[in-house]
Amino acid sequence: MSNPEKPLFSLHEHALEKSFEACPECSSKLMIKRGKSGAFFGCINYPNCKYTRPVVEHERVEEKVLAGSECPECGNELAVKQGRYGMFIGCTNFPECHHIEETHHHEDAGVICPKCQKADLIERTNRFGKIFYSCDDYPKCKYVVNYQPIQDVCPECHWSILVKRKMASGIVLMCPEKKCAYKRNDI
């Protein structure tokens, strides 16, 4: 239920919606549209004109060269850059060199991949900060689990690992295979 005393839009948003702005490509009117990434200005002449721009312009950071640094692949200097997922350190010789410094230290989980039996499972972080464990032999092996793997054989399906999950009942070791329902409390 909404509060009748609280306005639905702030004055700033309301002023943006009423203001008329012409599309720089076709001179039609721009209007605020909503997408999966939030609000943006889009041309009303869509799909003939595909001009869009964000409602809020984010400040761009200029590329800053790191003095005394060297790219291990091509020997050029490294620089602090801004990408679509935030700041990172990459080679100044882009696009010829695609080297990017690792920002997260990947911990070895000490568990052999149950699918390929060749490499270890490595702790990784996705772009949203969530931890997952994947095979170190990626892209040859694409095995992934979302919870901490434990080197222990499942007594029901004989899968070579179990995963550790925090549940309402406490810490539980369970089989990561979907067809298997094995669970036990961790002691």
- The stretches in the chain having pLDDT less than 70 are 1-20, 57-61, 84-85, 103-106, 187
Outline where DSSP puts E strands in the chain: 30-35, 38-43, 52-54, 64-65, 78-83, 86-91, 108-112, 120-125, 131-135, 144-145, 148-150, 162-167, 170-174, 183-185
pLDDT at residue 145, rounded to an integer: 92
CA distance 164 to 90: 35
Determine contact, residues 144/163, Cβ cutoff 8 Å: no
- For 1-16, give one letter per residue: b (16+ CB within 10 A) or e: eeeeeeeeeeeeeeee
CA distance 53 to 49: 13
Determine contact, residues 124/143, Cβ cutoff 8 Å: no
Whether the ω angle into residue 7 lies within 30 degrees of 0, i.e. cis, is: no
Element of type H or E holding 17: helix 11-18
| pTM of structure | 0.50
pLDDT at residue 164, rounded to an integer: 92
pLDDT at residue 157, rounded to an integer: 92
